[in-house]
Structure 1
Amino acid sequence: MLDFFGTIGGAIMTPLYYAVSFILVGFHRGLTAIGLDAAGGWTWILSIIGLTLVVRTALIPLFVKQIKSSRNMQLIQPKVRELQKKYGHDREKLAQETMKLYKDSGTNPFASCLPILLQMPIFLALFRMLDQAARRGKAHGFMDSTLAGQFRDAKFLGDIKVSGTLTGGETGVMIVAGILVIAMTATTFMTQRQLMSKNMPADALSGPYAQQQKMLLYVLPVVFAVGGIAFPIGVLVYWTISNLWTMCQQFYVIRNNPAPGTPAAEAKEQRERAKAEKKGLKTPAQIEEERIAAEADAKREEKASTRTQPQRQTKAQRTKKKK
């Protein structure tokens, strides 16, 4: 049975080893071609950074879907709470109506997890490839035994090995690895905190979705901090750069395309108003506000000018009245 699962795992991981090593080795050879030392630590660090940028660029379409899904999930939370109040006694009906709401609003509750779920196999392949190269000089994919040996022995900042870990026992390695673990944990926390504080409406800050986000806010950094203890410095570089990419990418999206009714949306409106005032123009929001106000004034004037017309009486009614 173990052999069976080992074979299945190898069949899944082998293509990832080739894909990850192809990009990593490609950057390594390119940097070597322009004069960097093939066995130098900085050559491997820059190669890992290049790998990170390629992977994150490829995941941009999924990140866009993630942002849209997260935004829709935030906006429909009031409706979800209404369904919970209405069908709280009937879980099956509640599940059906909730799924119907997701479908009608074009929301996929699992889309927000896609980027990290797709990154995990890549991360695992990189971790195993670099970890085994560091420990045994083992080859994987396009990273042959020669390159694996170079990575194992590569040093930067003096005598700090790229393959070193926080538990390696060497003071310099432990300091650098510790800094990277803290950076990886902090960027994970800040990214999640940025989403909750800037791009969530006030009425979405309660309920199951908000509780899920709060749990991720504190659980994910702890998971990465504990796991990071065993990561080689090269892997810590990958994940820290990936987190920085996520944080900057999310900041850009939240700043330029925030969810309605959020602090980020208010901040964007204030920036647009300030720019428009300098140019003597009006923002679309101001124009819409003036249109709504004008319509309301027109309705009030129409109501005020309307007079109750006397009802016309028949001849019989007039005769009866005279009598």
Structure 2
Amino acid sequence: MWDAFKDFIFWCISSFYSVFQDWGMAIMVITLIFRLILMPLMQKQIKSSYQMQKVQPLIQEIQTKYADDQPRMQEEMQKLYADAKFNPLAGCLPILLQMPIFVALFQVLQEMGSRTQGTSYQFYHLVPDLTLSPSTALEQGFLTFIPYIILLLIFAGATFAPMVLQQLHTPDSSQKKQTLIMSAFMTVFMLWIGWGSPAGVLLFWGVSSLFGVTQQQVVMARLRKNDEAKEAEIIETQPVKVDVTRKQKKKRPTKSR
């Protein structure tokens, strides 16, 4: 079943290769198609992350207040999630659903050299061979290595760019610092993984991540704009309070008889 799924993905890539006569462009097109298919799921994930960001201060407050009373803490957390219409599992489900597609694509691109023999796997002369890894390309000279290191940096940076960009609007400085530190470590880890991965995998993941960053920024901007509009509407509908202070009447002077 899994092999049949991978064969289908390879057939899709090969079909676009027959149109563009370029494996790199075929990989980019098939990646964008999969991202478009997954767009509704990713939009739910982004909305879930946005809601989580909004209720995070209240969550921390509940955790601090009921640190010694776990049942009460869980009860208050459920109330908070219900009031905010936030489902913690909503952010995990899209990731779980899309992982089989991404894993299959990853494996197909790694097997590309063995699936088609005698084909030039270049990307419009920008990347000489998409089956080579950055570590292998470095052995062939620095000039050959340049496009591979660019793909590697995009692969590592774009993967965690959504986390960094999301924290720019987080008021909690401690949470922002922790996320940025974790992103830095994970970026280094991705550089290590990408160092031995085929350039086709780096191209696929880089294009996918850049698409995800763009979608995240568009959706987040729309959500913030909607919240600002709701807040402005609430302010406009509130009655205007007029502070009227009555002047104290001066006592009439009494006539002396």
Matched residue pairs, number? 244
Note the C-alpha offset of 1:249.
1.4
Question: Equivalents in 2 of 1:14, 1:103: separation in Å?
Answer: 42
How is 1:230-269 mapped onto 2 (pairs within 5 angstroms)? 230-258=196-224
SS in 1 for 2:158: helix
Instruction: Identify which of 121, 137, 143 aligns with 1:154.
Output: 121
Question: Equivalents in 2 of 1:16, 1:103: separation in Å?
Answer: 39
Instruction: Identify which of 8, 11, 14 aligns with 2:3.
Output: 14
Question: Equivalents in 2 of 1:226, 1:117: separation in Å?
Answer: 24
Structure 1 alignment gaps of length 5 or more? 1-10, 37-42, 139-147, 270-282, 306-323
Question: Equivalents in 2 of 1:67, 1:259: separation in Å?
Answer: 15
Residue 51 of structure 2 is aligned to residue 72 of structure 1: yes
Question: Equivalents in 2 of 1:103, 1:22: separation in Å?
Answer: 45
Does the 8 Å CA contact 1:20/1:126 hold for their aligned counterparts?
yes
Instruction: Identify which of 4, 8, 12 aligns with 1:23.
Output: 12
> What residue number does 1:296 align with?
241
Task: Tell me which amino acid in the other structure corresponds to 1:197.
Answer: L
Does the 8 Å CA contact 1:16/1:125 hold for their aligned counterparts?
yes
Q: Which has the larger radius of gyration?
A: 1
Higher RCO, 1 vs 2 (CA within 8 Å, ≥6 residues apart):
2
> What residue number does 1:163 align with?
131
What are the Cα deviations for residues 287-311 of structure 1, in whole angstroms up to 9, with x where unaligned?
Answer: 654554x5222xx34xx57xxxxxx
SS in 2 for 1:160: coil
Question: Equivalents in 2 of 1:159, 1:85: separation in Å?
Answer: 53
Could you state the TM-score of these two structures normalised by the residue count of structure 2? 0.79
Question: Equivalents in 1 of 2:190, 2:225: separation in Å?
Answer: 29
Task: Tell me which amino acid in the other structure corresponds to 2:218.
Answer: Y
Does the 8 Å CA contact 1:187/1:244 hold for their aligned counterparts?
yes
Gap change, CA 1:212 and 1:206, over 3 Å in 2: closer
What are the Cα deviations for residues 94-134 of structure 1, in whole angstroms up to 9, with x where unaligned?
Answer: 23432443244322224334444444332322222222232
Does the 8 Å CA contact 1:131/1:163 hold for their aligned counterparts?
yes
> What residue number does 1:60 align with?
39
Question: Equivalents in 1 of 2:73, 2:237: separation in Å?
Answer: 40
What are the Cα deviations for residues 218-267 of structure 1, in whole angstroms up to 9, with x where unaligned?
Answer: 24322321111121111111111111111211222233332788xxx6xx
Task: Tell me which amino acid in the other structure corresponds to 1:236.
Answer: L
> What residue number does 1:4 align with?
none
What are the Cα deviations for residues 189-223 of structure 1, in whole angstroms up to 9, with x where unaligned?
Answer: 4332211103x3x2x5556xx57744552243223
Note the C-alpha offset of 1:180.
0.6
Question: Equivalents in 1 of 2:131, 2:106: separation in Å?
Answer: 11
Give RMSD over aligned pairs: 3.2
SS in 2 for 1:235: helix
Does the 8 Å CA contact 2:81/2:87 hold for their aligned counterparts?
yes
Does the 8 Å CA contact 2:24/2:122 hold for their aligned counterparts?
no
Residue 75 of structure 2 is aligned to residue 86 of structure 1: no
Could you state the TM-score of these two structures normalised by the residue count of structure 1? 0.64
Identical counterparts, % of pairs: 29
Question: Equivalents in 2 of 1:63, 1:160: separation in Å?
Answer: 33
Gap change, CA 1:184 and 1:248, over 3 Å in 2: same
Question: Equivalents in 2 of 1:69, 1:180: separation in Å?
Answer: 30
